[in-house]
Each structure stands twice: as C-alpha cells, then as structure tokens.
C-alpha cells in the first residue's frame, strides 16, 4: 500500500509518479528475478540467509498488483476495519479520498 500527503502529491505529481513507478518496477523485479533480488538482500545485509530471502520472495505474490482491483480492495478492508471500530471513516469517505490516476497510468505504462 502506498500513501501520500495530499498537498505533496498535488504539488509534486511528477515526483509522486516517479516514486510509484520505482516501487512497482522493484515489485516486478522481485517477481521476475527472485534469485537476483535475494542475493541483493543478503549482500546489503538485510538478512544473512540467502535461502530465507529466496523463500520469502517466492512466497509473496509480488506480481498480483496488476490483477487486483485496488479500489475494491480498499473498500473491502475499510468496511471490515470500520465494522470492527478500528477506523471512524466510512468506506465511502475513504474511497472519495483516494486518487487512482497514477496507479492506473502506471498499470498501462508498465504493462508486461
């Protein structure tokens, strides 16, 4: 999940889109080249175990961001959190506060 300060996103749309693009491309790299990414994780000392890093990269469905409907997912979890009294905002209010332009543009741009 990515979140941004509304004022920052409004004032810096190019930087916002570049950051999102970098994150999504890194996500694609984790899905397409898990062995390479696992080696980078170990080399940069985020973990000592290459096998654990590789297994984690294989277990996490990094490539699913292209298939999931982000708006539906946010509404679904917002409803559950609201029902459990963990958030005060309604799913409708949260949906109105989201801006999917960058994600939709990047989905088209980064199509495999």
Per-residue confidence (pLDDT) for residue 44, from 0 to 100: 97
- Asked if the structure places residue 51 within a domain, the reply is yes
**Residue-wise pLDDT tens digits, 42-62:** 999 999 999 999 999 999 998
In a domain, residue 83? The reply is no
In a domain, 90, yes or no: no
Domain assignment of residue 46, yes or no: yes
> What per-residue confidence (pLDDT) applies to 60?
92
Q: State pTM to two decimals.
A: 0.78
Residue tagged 């950051």 (tokens) = 19
pLDDT number for residue 112: 57
- Give me the count of residues in the chain: 112
Cα separation of 83 and 88, whole Å? 9
Number of independent structural domains in the chain: 1
What pLDDT does residue 74 have? 87
Q: State which residues form the domain around 58.
A: 8-67
First to last CA, the chain: 21
Q: pLDDT of the chain along its 112 residues, tens only?
A: 788 898 999 999 999 999 999 999 999 999 999 999 999 999 999 999 999 999 999 999 988 888 888 888 888 999 999 999 999 988 888 888 888 888 889 988 988 5
Query: Residue 30 falls within a domain, yes or no?
Result: yes
């Amino acid at each position: 999940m990515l979140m941004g300060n509304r004022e920052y996103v409004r004032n810096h749309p190019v930087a916002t889109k570049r950051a999102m693009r970098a994150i999504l491309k890194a996500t694609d790299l984790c899905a397409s080249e898990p062995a390479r990414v696992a080696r980078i994780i170990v080399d940069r000392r985020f973990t000592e175990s290459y096998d654990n890093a590789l297994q984690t990269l294989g277990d996490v469905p990094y490539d699913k961001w292209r298939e999931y409907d982000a708006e539906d997912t946010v509404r679904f979890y917002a409803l559950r959190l609201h029902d459990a009294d963990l958030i005060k905002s309604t799913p409708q209010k949260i949906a109105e506060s989201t801006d999917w332009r960058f994600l939709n543009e990047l989905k088209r741009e980064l199509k495999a």
